[in-house]
Amino acid sequence: MGLKEKLIRKGDYVWELPKGTVEGQKVPVVLYLSDTLFELLEEDAVRQAVNAATLPGVEKAIYIMPDVHVGYGFPVGGVIATDVEDGIISPGSVGYDINCGVRLIATNIRGKDIAPRIRELMGEILKNVPAGVGSRSTIKLSRSKLEEVLVEGARWAVEQGFGFEEDLRHIEGGGSLPGADPYRASKEAYDRGSDELGTVGSGNHFVELQVVEEIYDEETAERFGIFEGQVLIMVHSGSRGFGHQVCTDYLKIAVQSLSRYGIKLPDMQLACMPFSSEEGQSYFRAMNAAANYAFANRQILGFRTADTVRRFLGISWEDLGYRVIYDHAHNIAKVEEHKVGSRRKRLVVHRKGATRAFPPYSPDIPEDYRDVGQPVIIPGDMGRASYLMVGQEPSMEESFGTACHGAGRVMSRRQAKKFVKEKGLENIIGGLTVVARGKGTVMEEIPQAYKDVSEVVRVVHEVGIARAVAKFRPIGTLKG
């Protein structure tokens, strides 16, 4: 009998693999899935989650979001928290693209006003926003300047003219995570990051123009400045080659340190080190530096895109109405305080392909949003909807304050390309305007390669982790 068959249904959208189902399993695995999404659940994703439940210092439960799919060592859409004193930190449970995340920007423009010129506008964005594998930035950074980026994050970008001071208050952590140490990253990481700041990259990363299609919570939408028919800018990108190299380097260090700390693993992709150890602290500080790179990257990408729209329309910043709604991280490990049993404990919360979703009145939420909850931006796949949600109180009890991060793949990139060749790209993406530097990524990122994001969002809403606020329809997408 496979592990998936051993899952016990605990509610309409809740499944559990009890503690001790597998030898060495310290905590239960809890999954949030509808019947439809349960059918798509991979056996290997359950296995990866159970493997993580055997790690030293793991607390309470492994939580799996409805967009789950197999990842490196730990499933994408997974949440694991470990004790600060006795637990580990796991690079593979953070992911290669450290602080891959999403930024949502509001404008005063209406979709009907740019629809006739959308192809021309997207062509201008393509000229001004580098994207794709190996894309290079016009910003060339010396070692000392890159060190500044790694410490200051989005603030560095604002100080260079890419945005405004008020942008920073609507970024997770103010766009700069504390404890970042640029000296904990390798020369290879610096080499890879020196000319990629302000680039989108490839894969599922994008810059997109979207139109607000439906509003479910008028009061909260108004607080965020969102109205039906409005054009929004969404940016999905991360720490590029710099973050990838940090993960690569510290996975090797983790493997080398296992015997030193007496850690035995069911899967070497979960290689880890005690959080309090020299190796653990070194990775944590390098990871924060990579996260700050990503915050700066999205700051530049969002501002450049908005500036291109503004200049294309020949309007002022005031008329454009540019304002950052929010920017948050995926693929991150953060030290947070959570309730475990009857106690509050400091934990290292790993969110891999998952989004922080703190409820109203959390001190970590921007003051002007504090009474409604943290914005949770859920990007859909190319051609389908994206969503805005807000974190709710049950998230703290049910998922360490975490929600999903997107739709989740169901088709490999190779399968997607084969599907496109059979069906034809135009037949698949319909009326969406897509611009890219090559067709390869577009073929890999077709809607059919992903789960239905609306179903994923519905589960999160029904479980009570986050509440749906609005739905957005893409009208123009830039892919790598």
Q: Does the model's pTM come out above 0.85?
A: yes
pLDDT level of residue 434 (50, 70, 90 thresholds): confident
**Whether residue 405 lies in the annotated active site:** yes
Tokens at 422, concatenated: 């059979």
Q: What is the C-alpha separation between 146 and 293, in angstroms, rounded?
A: 9
Report how far apart, in Å, the C-alpha atoms of 4 and of each of 44, 82, 100, 437 are: 9, 24, 29, 41
Tokens at 465, concatenated: 């982790």
Name every residue whose Cβ is closer than 8 Å to that of residue 312 and which is 6 or more positions away in sequence.
117, 120, 121, 124
Are 215 and 225 contacting, i.e. CB atoms less than 8 angstroms apart? no
pLDDT level of residue 248 (50, 70, 90 thresholds): very high
Q: Which of 177-186, 200-209, 225-234, 356-365 has the lowest mean pLDDT?
A: 200-209
Query: What would the mean pLDDT of 468-477 be, rounded to a whole number?
Result: 96
Helix (H, G, I), strand (E, B) or coil at 109: strand
- Eight-class DSSP state of 384: S
pLDDT tens profile 142-171: 999 999 999 999 999 999 999 999 999 999
Tokens at 288, concatenated: 């924060």
- Please report, rounded to a whole number, the percentage of residues in the chain having pLDDT higher than 90: 85
pLDDT of residue 185: 98
Residue recorded with tokens 């953070």: 94
Torsion of CA 203, 204, 207, 208, to 10 degrees: 140
Domains and CATH numbers, the chain: 4-410+450-472 (3.90.1860.10)
pLDDT of residue 25: 98
Q: What is the C-alpha separation between 421 and 316, in angstroms, rounded?
A: 44
Closest CA to 354 of 398, 297, 411, 290: 398
- Has residue 219 got a pLDDT over 70? yes
- If one counts every other C-beta atom within 10 angstroms of the C-beta of residue 85, the result is 11
Q: What is the C-alpha separation between 256 and 261, in angstroms, rounded?
A: 10
- Has residue 136 got a pLDDT over 90? no
- Has residue 428 got a pLDDT over 70? no
Instruction: Name the active-site residue from 170, 328, 330, 405.
Output: 405
Closest CA to 52 of 34, 71, 25: 25
Q: What is the C-alpha separation between 198 and 428, in angstroms, rounded?
A: 30
Share the mean pLDDT of the chain. Answer: 93
pLDDT level of residue 427 (50, 70, 90 thresholds): low
- Please report, rounded to a whole number, the percentage of residues in the chain having pLDDT higher than 70: 93
Angle between helices 143-152 and 278-313 (to 10 degrees): 90
